[in-house]
Structure 1
Amino acid sequence: MTWSEAEYLEYLRSERRAYAWVMRRHGGLTSEEAGQAALECYPYEPADAPYRGLVFHDEAWHWAMLAIHGDRYGHEHPEPADPPPEYRALE
């Protein structure tokens, strides 16, 4: 997918926000820690990066649950497999 720079930055901001929310709410991180974790998970990629935005193929909820519970979170922790309404309200 090709985005304008403004579209990419908005999507990046949105995913960082959602990821940080999950890390605070479900991962027990402070706001500062969650913000840092979001920056690490969603670094800015220059427009000419070959796979720019590939991380967007799954939503922030998925990446945060992987960070919190590990690769098998859907099997070992099925309760957070789907985002709650509060997460969806962030969109």
Structure 2
Amino acid sequence: MRWSELDYLGCLHSERRGYEWVMAHHGGLTPTQAREAALQRYPYEPDDAPYRGLLFHDEAWHWAMLAIHGDRYVVEHPELAHPSPEYLAAR
């Protein structure tokens, strides 16, 4: 799939915002730390990057939970398997 720049940037900013929210509310990071974590997790990929946007195949909630709780978070914290209503409202 080829992204338009506008679509790609919209998705990038949305996922960064979601990741930042989770890292602040569930990961205990300060707002500045959460913002930096989101920028690192979701770097800008140039238009000619072969897998541009592949990271978007899972929601920011999932990637943040992996960073906070590890790859067994769904088993060890089943209540976190799906995004919370608060997260969804913040997006």
Regarding TM over 0.5, the answer is yes
TM-score (norm 2): 0.96
Determine the C-alpha separation between the residues in 2 that align with 1:6 and 1:81: 30
Match of 2:29 in 1: 29
Which moves more between the two structures, 49-58 or 80-89?
80-89
Give the aligned CA root-mean-square deviation in angstroms: 0.8
Determine the C-alpha separation between the residues in 2 that align with 1:7 and 1:90: 20
| Structure in which a larger fraction of residues adopt helix | 2
Q: How many percent of aligned residue pairs carry the same amino acid?
A: 70
Determine the C-alpha separation between the residues in 2 that align with 1:62 and 1:44: 19
Determine the C-alpha separation between the residues in 2 that align with 1:63 and 1:54: 13
Match of 1:11 in 2: 11
Match of 1:66 in 2: 66
CA deviations on 1:59-81 (whole Å, 9 max, x unpaired) are 00000000000011001111211
CA deviations on 1:26-62 (whole Å, 9 max, x unpaired) are 0000000000000111000000000000100000000
Match of 1:77 in 2: 77
Q: Give secondary structure in 2 for the equivalent of 1:32.
A: helix
TM-score (norm 1): 0.96
Structure 1, unmatched stretches of 5+, are none
Determine the C-alpha separation between the residues in 2 that align with 1:77 and 1:7: 33
Letter in 1 for 2:44: Y
Structure 2, unmatched stretches of 5+, are none
- The runs of 4+ residues in structure 1 deviating greater than 3 Å are none
